[in-house]
Amino acid sequence: MSGGGYMHVLAFDIYGTILDTNTINVGLQSLLDIGEQKSTEICLLWRRYQLEYTWRLNSMGIYEPFDVVTSRAIEHALAEHGIKFDERKIVQIMAAYNRLQEFDDAAPAMQELRKLPNIEIVIFSNGTEDMVTKALQVDSLSTLTKRMFLADAAQTYKPSRAIYDGLVRHVNEGASQPVAADHVWLVSGNPFDVTGARSAGLQAIWVDRSSSGWIDRASRFEPTKVVQSLGEVVEFVRSL
């Protein structure tokens, strides 16, 4: 590994990067007694409103915890599909959301990254501490929760610049040597997250699992590196 001994921080998003948000689909089918097609439609709408709500809250200067946002988003998606629900059902759905399955490449990649010198891994998520801890409690990923910087700490959501600036301050707390923003690498499967990090001066690795290529046109910012898997992240980091 090159880089003159400089510390590099890898800030991993979890939803859509380490955890596959589509795996809630089976849980919804069972809990709501619906078919796969309907469940898929609801999942997509749920994710859309989950993110849209965070962006709307950012624009209004309001912060609500991510579990509240996520719960309201599924209520919106269910109502739009005319599916009746009660508070007990929402609690069950949220419990299932906290048990999302990880992508197959997540655990092996983390094991390899932990072996590399001068690499610090931080979980960087919109999720609350309770959500993230429950989601990563499987043996293969549980050690990731030792260092986290979450939206609750910044009281704002991605892609607000404040949350990325907060991440840089966080990784420098107690550091033996300063870590510059351009040595902090976001690893995310979400384009809005990538552009947010780049606009704040961070590096960003975009995990393009669908191999669709970079087509985001919201801004001039693009990923520093594009990969198709977390295994490719390991190979790239070894070259830093």
Run of H or E including 187: strand 184-188
Q: Which of these three, 97, 113, 131, is where a domain ends? A: 97
**Interacting residues of 40 by C-beta distance below 8 A, sequence separation 6+:** 25
Contact 6, 116 (CB under 8 A): no
Are 78 and 113 contained in the same domain? no
- Which domain, by its residues, includes 124? 8-19+101-238
> Are residues 111 and 65 both part of a single domain?
no
Q: Are residues 13 and 26 in the same domain?
A: no
Asked if the structure places residue 134 within a domain, the reply is yes
65 and 108 both lie in a single domain = no
pLDDT > 90: what percent of the chain?
90
Contact in structure between 138 and 21 (CB atoms under 8 Å): no
CA distance 32 to 36: 11
111 and 55 inside one domain: no
Q: What's the one-letter identity of residue 6?
A: Y
150 and 71 part of one domain: no
Answer whether residue 1 shows pLDDT above 70: no
| Residue 25 and residue 15 share a domain | no
Q: Which of 116, 159, 126 is nearest to 19 (CA)?
A: 126
Q: Is residue 65 part of a domain?
A: yes
Does one domain contain both 72 and 107?
A: no
Residue 194 forms part of a structural domain: yes
The CATH number for 167's domain is 3.40.50.1000
pLDDT of 13: 98
Final residue before a domain boundary, out of 97, 131, 146: 97
The confidence score (pLDDT) of residue 2 equals 46
Domain presence at residue 2 = no
| Segment 173-184, tens digit of pLDDT | 988 889 999 999
Has residue 1 been placed in a domain?
no
Contact 55, 156 (CB under 8 A): no
Q: What is the pLDDT of residue 175?
A: 81
Residue 38 resides in a domain: yes
pLDDT given for residue 5 in this prediction: 58
- Check whether residue 66 and residue 26 sit in a common domain: yes
User: Does residue 137 sit in the same domain as residue 218?
Assistant: yes
One domain for residues 122 and 234: yes
CATH number for the domain harbouring residue 69:
1.10.150.240
Average pLDDT of the residues of the chain = 94
Domain count, the chain: 2
The whole-angstrom separation of Cα 78 and Cα 81 is: 5
Q: At what angle do helices 66-80 and 87-97 cross, to 10 degrees?
A: 120
Q: Are residues 44 and 83 in the same domain?
A: yes
Query: What does the block give as tokens for 111?
Result: 């094991």
pTM of the predicted model as reported, rounded to 2 decimal places: 0.95
Examine residue 3 and state whether it is found in any structural domain, yes or no.
Answer: no
Measured between alpha carbons, how far is 146 from 122 in angstroms, rounded to an integer? 8
Cβ–Cβ under 8 Å, residues 184 and 11 = yes
From 97, 114, 148, give the residue that closes a domain.
Answer: 97
